[in-house]
Chain A
Amino acid sequence: MSADTPNSEWPDEAPPTTSKHGDRARIAGEELIEPKGDSLSGVTLTIDRPRADLFAFWRDFSNLARFMENVIDIEVLDARRSRWVVKAPANRTVEWISIVTEESEGDFIAWASEPDAPVPNSGRVDFRDAPGGRGTWVSATILYDPPAGFIGKAIAKMFQREPAIQARRDLRRFKQLMETGEVATGARNRRLLEEGKN
Chain B
Amino acid sequence: MRALTWHGKHDVRVETVDDPEILNPRDAIIRVTSTAICGSDLHLYDGYIPTMMAGDILGHEFMGEVVETGPGSTLRKGQRVVVPFTISCGGCFHCGKHQYSACENSLPADNQDIGRELYGHPTAGLFGYSHMTGGYSGGQAEYVRVPFSDVGPIVVPDDVPDDDVLFLSDILPTGWQAAENAQIEQGDTVAVWGCGPVGLFCVQAAFLMGAERVIAIDHFPHRLELARRFGAETIDFEESKTYEALMEMTGGIGPDACIDAVGLEAHGFFVDNVIDQIKASTFLGTDRIHSIRQAIIACRKGGRVSMPAVYGGYVDKFPLGALMEKGLTLRTGQTHVQHYMPGLLNAILDGKIDTTFLISHRLPLEQAAEGYKMFHDRQNEVTKIVLKPGLEIAPAAA
Contacts and interface: CB of A to CB of B under 8 A. Distances in A.
Interface of A: 46, 48, 69, 134-135, 165, 169-170, 172-173, 175-176, 179-191, 193, 197-198
23 contacts: A46-B93, A69-B110, A170-B109, A175-B104, A176-B105, A180-B26, A180-B105, A180-B148, A181-B25, A183-B24, A184-B24, A186-B131, A187-B23, A187-B135, A188-B18, A188-B20, A188-B137, A190-B23, A191-B18, A193-B23, A198-B110, A198-B131, A198-B135
B91 interface: yes
A173 B72 CA distance: 18
Given A175-B105, A184-B106, A198-B134, A189 B93 contact: no
**Centre residue among A165, A183, A185 by max chain B CB count within 10 A:** A185
A165 B113 contact: yes
A182 B26 contact: yes
Interface string B117-150: 0000000010000010011110000000101100
A198 B96 CA distance: 26
Nearest to B143: A188
A183 B110 CA distance: 11
A172 B106 CA distance: 11
B23 A185 contact: yes
A185 B72 CA distance: 16
B172 to A, nearest CB: 25
A135 B92 CA distance: 10
B50 interface: no
Given A169-B109, A182-B24, A183-B24, 19 more contacts: A48-B93, A172-B109, A172-B112, A173-B109, A175-B105, A176-B109, A179-B92, A179-B104, A179-B105, A180-B92, A180-B105, A180-B148, A181-B26, A184-B105, A184-B125, A184-B134, A187-B23, A191-B18, A193-B23
Contact of A197 (B92, B135, B145): B135
Nearest to A189: B21
A161 B57 CA distance: 31
Q: Chain B interface secondary structure, helix, strand, loop or mixed? A: loop
Nearest to A45: B104
Contacts of A193: 23
Contact of A190 (B21, B91, B92): B21
B19 interface: yes
Contacts of B20: 188-189
A186 B72 contact: no
B108 interface: yes
Given A46-B93, A193-B23, A198-B131, A184 B109 contact: yes
Given A169-B109, A189-B20, A184 B147 contact: yes
Contacts of A189: 18-21, 23, 145
B111 interface: yes
Nearest to B87: A184
A179 B103 CA distance: 11
